[in-house]
Amino acid sequence: MPLLGETIWFPLFFDIEKAYDRTWRYGILRNMYDFGLRGNLPIFIFNFLVVRYFNVRIGHSSHKFMQDQGVPQGSVLSVTLFNIHMSSILHHLPPSVRGMLYVDDLQVSCQGSDMRLIERQLQTTVNRSVKWCDQNGHTISPSKSSCVHFCRKRNLHPDPSIHIGHIQIPVVSEVRFLGVIFDSKLTFLPHVLYLRKKCERSLNILKVLSNTLWGADRVSLLQVYQALILSRLDNGCVVYGSARASVLK
């Protein structure tokens, strides 16, 4: 999202508590019905979700407990079913608010030049999102959620006050979203410094493994490099690659 002139971009990053464990199963089936899925597939998903038990073993097996909510973690279908359930929250946003959802990472934002209008739109969004969560078995954590004030204005201007219930969502100078650290000026300097620190540690591992006497061969070292260093650099490079050349050095 470019910041041009007097433009203000204010995103909210929500933290949904125990999103997988509290997923409303009948909400999944309802959304599948709304998507037009009929026949044996909803019946299969229903049996997949409801008939689930677990035991806790401490010495001897405990009594059998029924898992009455949530999706099974580790299953191939779990992420897809969770996405089917969570995707409907984006349908409750005001027209002027944009939302992005990746599994349980939810971000909504509003852009403009009038801070008071942005504050009203975002508060409306929060109220609708909280209402949706209450109706679908989820809870948004106000203390773990955050918002960032992105702008290039040099003069003093107040941050908007957004609340979940009676608790204000904290305004922070930088936030990590999908593995990328966004700072309020979009310089990406904190993210580059974080990457540098992580990659330097991984390089030390490569130095040890490349010992000429007992070290790993070239192919193994390349695989370690791709797993520990290149994967970190590739993640989000399309985003932070727009930083200044002096930052990326």
The 3 state secondary structure assigned to the chain is CCCCCCCEEEEEEECECCCCCCCCHHHHHHHHHHCCCCCHHHHHHHHHHHCCEECCEECEECCCEECCCCCCCCCCCHHHHHHHHHHHHHHHCCCCCEEEEECCEEEEEEEECCHHHHHHHHHHHHHHHHHHHHHCCCCECCCCCEEECEECCCCCCCCCCCEECCEECCEECEEEECCEEEECCCCCHHHHHHHHHHHHHHHHHHHHHCCCCCCCCHHHHHHHHHHHHHHHHHCCHHHHCCCCHHHHC
pLDDT in tens, 65-101: 777 788 887 788 888 888 888 888 998 899 889 999 8
Look at residue 194 in the predicted model and tell me its pLDDT.
92
Q: What is the rounded average pLDDT for all residues in the chain? A: 84
Does the pLDDT of residue 52 top 90, yes or no? no
Q: Is the entire prediction scored with pTM above 0.75? A: yes
Higher pLDDT, 189 or 54: 189
- Tens digits of residue pLDDT in 177-222: 888 898 888 888 999 999 999 999 998 888 888 876 777 788 888 9
Give the per-residue pLDDT at 49. 85
Residue 63 has pLDDT above 90, yes or no: no
The residue among 37 and 6 whose pLDDT is bigger is 37
pLDDT at res. 6: 59
| Percentage of the chain lying above the pLDDT 70 cut | 94
